Amino acid sequence: MLTGARGEGGVTVLKGARERWVPTGGVELCVAELGDPERPTVLLVHGYPDSKEVWSKVAVRLAEDFHVVLYDVRGHGRSSAPKPLRGGFTLEKLTDDFLAVADAVSPGRPVHLVGHDWGSVQAWEFVTVKRTEGRIASFTSMSGPSLDHFGHWIQQRVKRPTPRRIGQLLGQGAKSWYVYLLHTPVLPELAWRGPLGKRWPRLLSRLENVPAGNYPTPSLPSDAAHGAWLYRDNVRPRLRRPRADAYAHAPVQLITPLGDAFLSERLYDELELWVPQLTRRTIPAKHWVPRTRPDQLALWIGEFVTSVEGGRPEPKAAGRHSDRFAGQLVLVTGAGSGIGRATAYAFAEAGARVIAVDRDGEAAARTAELSRLVGATDAWAEVVDVSDDQAMEKLAARVATEHGVVDVLVNNAGIGLAGTFLDTTSEDWRKVLDVNLWGVIHGCRLFGRQMANRGQGGHIVNIASAAAFQPSRVLPAYSTSKAAVLMLSECLRAELADQGIGVSAICPGLVNTNITSTARFAGVDAEEEARRQKKSARLYGMRNYPPEKVAEAILRAIVNDDAVVPVTPEARGAHVLSRFAPGVLRRLARVKSPV
Ligand code: NAD
């Protein structure tokens, strides 16, 4: 017998969805389906305080390839609420609901679960209890840990505290402030049905950059009031007595938003202990990824489901940083040669989507082509001169329309210029500053603005040089341009920190690339210039530091969010001297060029 009445509070924004009600344990669940039922079923479970419509953008994208199913969790959206509410939201009852929905929509075939926030917390229960074995083909989790794993995580840190572990506990404790509030009686309900419910859409848009529109749905106040019981019925008992056998019986893909205000990345450090087949992904984003990053989520979910189904091979990317960069949109300037090309390949090997920009169209096209071969999810070439502000504006607009906002920007394009100050003409100065400094300014300004507007974080890498902190009588213009890039990066890093956008300046030393053979030598005739180019190319060749190592340093700098990275040993040495013994560098600066 049904004790709860069908929820009336919601409206669906899922155009073209087929809806039905599934009875289970005294409630009726509102279930929506999209796509071809013959295809593998992807079952999306929403979080708190949401209804299934939080998934609308992801669902329509996935429906092109899969049978997509969503349901309002009991007490949310148009599903009815248990009576009484207390004790009606236990993980056991939520597991019954999941099985009822899975049996109704995909009776003969296991489903691919996807959960966000509390949808992920419950799905962890589904994928780690015995009675669902064989009903789940895979699980994609985002922003919602298993309460059992979380309980063990806390216990380990309390039993064996170290300063680092205590820091982690305090960090997560501070992020969980709202969980304590939700345990207080009545107040959360009053707040949600009153002022908080009214202000929530604006708060979401201001704090999380969730675009305004037909989400959240009008059922929000009652969703949030009922959903408080998810916390009250489960959190304390499970954290106190976590299950010891909470092992996943299906492959899991963990997607961790790097800017999640409610969950620390560290919560998942020991996840391999519980999940035999784990794929990790990170994304520069805040908590509400189903609203803010639907394209990226649909891509990852689709890839994962397809690889588990065995229809296509495993995702190609197996590079060192694939957990961090796979699927991310990365734009590299000067990608047609040297450090830029090696960087494009390193991101490609990590499974990123790569945009290779260069003023040399053929070289950019070759980089894009090879990027696809070595593992890029996709790659494109763009022919642009970074010093041309209008061309850069057009590039930024085109990239935004065709591919979206870049997650990582690498301002690498640069040219060499040697020659004393008195030999350097104003035209020489203009050229080197136009490319080395203005190119970086245009990139930061245009793509940085898009990242900031998206409000989900990202990273900007500017390639400076050891010349940025090492004066030299023979590289005044080049060194000035690079010192400016270094300072610009430091200033921008301070400005964008609040928005979760990292900025790193990379300072290589001598790296074996083409830069020596194209560098201009001021104050000498063409013949002498060619001779010096050859000689310096030989010198760099003898030093033989490969651009691939700089590329690796760039990816590492992003992962660690480093501010300034001197790369080669001589660059590191010069960096130390510039801080502690600048007089030594000043003396070295007087040495005449060996070239
Ligand atoms: P490289 O000459 O091998 O590659 C530079 C690429 O940038 C080329 O493909 C070139 O076509 C492109 N490019 C140049 N000007 C451009 C413009 N205006 N618009 C678009 N593309 C342009 O040089 P590299 O050594 O790989 O240099 C990459 C960066 O690293 C530069 O900023 C350079 O100053 C810096 N750097 C190099 C070294 C080194 O020793 N090679 C050391 C420190 C810093």
Mind listing the pLDDT tens digit for each residue in 366-399? Answer: 999 999 999 998 999 999 999 999 999 999 999 9
- Looking at the domain assignment, is residue 8 inside a domain? no
374-400: buried (b, 16+ CB within 10 Å) or exposed (e) per residue?
bbbbbbbbbbbbbbbbebbeebbeebb
- Looking at the domain assignment, is residue 508 inside a domain? yes
What pLDDT does 12 receive? 56
Residue 172 sits in the same domain as residue 43: yes
Residue 125 sits in the same domain as residue 180: yes
Q: Whose CA is nearest to atom 1 of ligand 1?
A: 515
| Burial (CB count <10 Å: 0-12, 13-18, 19+), residue 259 | middle
List pocket residues of ligand 1, CB cut-off 6 Å. 333-334, 336-340, 358-360, 363, 385-387, 412-415, 435, 439, 463, 465, 508, 510-511, 513-515, 518, 547
Q: Whose CA is nearest to atom 10 of ligand 1?
A: 334
- Single residue among 247, 278, 309 that ends a domain in this structure: 309
Residue 584 sits in the same domain as residue 435: yes
42: Cα within 13 Å, side-chain hemisphere: 33
Ligand 1 centre to CA of 332 (Å) is 11
Residue with tokens 């935004």: 400
Q: What is the pLDDT of residues 86-143, one digit of tens each?
A: 999 999 999 999 999 999 999 999 999 999 999 999 999 999 999 999 999 999 999 9
Weakest-pLDDT range from 213-227, 245-259, 576-590: 213-227
Grade residue 238 by pLDDT with cuts at 50, 70 and 90: very high
Total structural domains in the chain?
2
Residue 392 sits in the same domain as residue 482: yes
Residue 142 sits in the same domain as residue 281: yes
Residue 467 sits in the same domain as residue 575: yes
Residue 144 sits in the same domain as residue 281: yes
Percent of the chain with pLDDT over 70: 96
**What contacts 356, CB < 8 A, 6 or more positions away?**
332, 335, 336, 340, 341, 344, 364, 365, 367, 368, 371, 379, 380, 381, 382
CATH code, domain with 446: 3.40.50.720
What pLDDT does 317 receive? 54
Query: CB–CB of 289/346 below 8 Å?
Result: no
What pLDDT does 172 receive? 85
Q: What is the pLDDT of residues 19-57, one digit of tens each?
A: 999 999 999 999 999 999 999 999 999 999 999 999 999
Rounded Cα–Cα distance for residues 192 and 293 (Å): 26
Q: What is the pLDDT of residues 539-562, one digit of tens each?
A: 999 999 999 999 999 999 999 999
- Looking at the domain assignment, is residue 524 inside a domain? no
Compute φ and ψ for 256, nearest 5 degrees: -110, 115
Query: CB–CB of 343/333 below 8 Å?
Result: no
Residue 304 sits in the same domain as residue 329: no
Q: What is the pTM (predicted TM-score) of this model?
A: 0.81
Rounded Cα–Cα distance for residues 100 and 113 (Å): 14
H helices present in 253-360, as ranges: 289-292, 294-309, 322-325, 338-349
| Burial (CB count <10 Å: 0-12, 13-18, 19+), residue 550 | buried
Rounded Cα–Cα distance for residues 458 and 451 (Å): 6
- Mean pLDDT, to the nearest integer, of 257-274? 90
- Mean pLDDT, to the nearest integer, of 418-442? 97
Among candidate residues 411, 378, 415, the one with its CA nearest the CA of residue 396: 411
Mutate to test the pocket of ligand 1, among 333, 383, 415, 480 (most ligand atoms within 8 A of CB): 415
- Single residue among 277, 309, 341 that ends a domain in this structure: 309
Q: Contacts by 265-271 with C-beta closer than 8 Å and gap 24+?
A: 266/168, 266/171, 266/172, 267/145, 267/149, 267/150, 267/153, 267/172, 268/145, 269/153, 270/149, 270/152, 270/153, 270/156, 271/149
Grade residue 456 by pLDDT with cuts at 50, 70 and 90: confident
Percent of the chain with pLDDT over 90: 80
Residue 251 sits in the same domain as residue 395: no
Q: Determine whether 180 is an active site residue.
A: no
Mutate to test the pocket of ligand 1, among 431, 442, 513 (most ligand atoms within 8 A of CB): 513
What pLDDT does 594 receive? 67
Q: Which atom of ligand 1 is nearest the CA belonging to 386?
A: 19
- Looking at the domain assignment, is residue 533 inside a domain? no
Residue 271 sits in the same domain as residue 339: no
Query: CB–CB of 506/464 below 8 Å?
Result: yes
- Looking at the domain assignment, is residue 5 inside a domain? no
Q: What is the pLDDT of residues 458-503, one digit of tens each?
A: 999 999 999 999 999 999 999 999 999 999 999 999 999 998 999 9
**What contacts 444, CB < 8 A, 6 or more positions away?**
409, 411, 460, 462, 488, 492
Ligand 1 centre to CA of 539 (Å) is 17
Query: CB–CB of 375/348 below 8 Å?
Result: yes
Residue 129 sits in the same domain as residue 211: yes
Q: Whose CA is nearest to atom 39 of ligand 1?
A: 511
Let me know how long the chain is.
595
Q: What is the pLDDT of residues 192-230, one digit of tens each?
A: 899 998 999 999 998 998 987 778 899 999 999 999 999
- Single residue among 250, 279, 309 that ends a domain in this structure: 309
Pairing between strand 136-142 and 252-257?
parallel
**What contacts 529, CB < 8 A, 6 or more positions away?**
520, 521
What pLDDT does 400 receive? 95
Grade residue 2 by pLDDT with cuts at 50, 70 and 90: very low
Q: Which atom of ligand 1 is nearest the CA belonging to 508?
A: 43
- Looking at the domain assignment, is residue 187 inside a domain? yes
Pairing between strand 278-283 and 252-257?
parallel
CATH code, domain with 143: 3.40.50.1820
Q: What average pLDDT is seen over the chain?
A: 93
82-95: buried (b, 16+ CB within 10 Å) or exposed (e) per residue?
beebeebbbbebbb
Q: Measure Cα distances from 504 to 280, 392, 441, 488, 491 in Å.
A: 24, 21, 14, 10, 11
Q: Whose CA is nearest to atom 24 of ligand 1?
A: 338
DSSP 81: P
Ligand 1 centre to CA of 362 (Å) is 16
Joined together, the tokens standing for residue 542 give 């003898």
Q: Is pLDDT of 3 > 70?
A: no
Q: Name the residue range of residue 101's domain.
A: 18-309
- Looking at the domain assignment, is residue 521 inside a domain? no
Amino acid at 186: V
Among candidate residues 166, 162, 185, the one with its CA nearest the CA of residue 174: 166
Residue 333 sits in the same domain as residue 273: no
Rounded Cα–Cα distance for residues 454 and 501 (Å): 11
Question: Pseudo-torsion of CA 162, 165, 169, 172, nearest 10°?
Answer: 160
- Looking at the domain assignment, is residue 165 inside a domain? yes
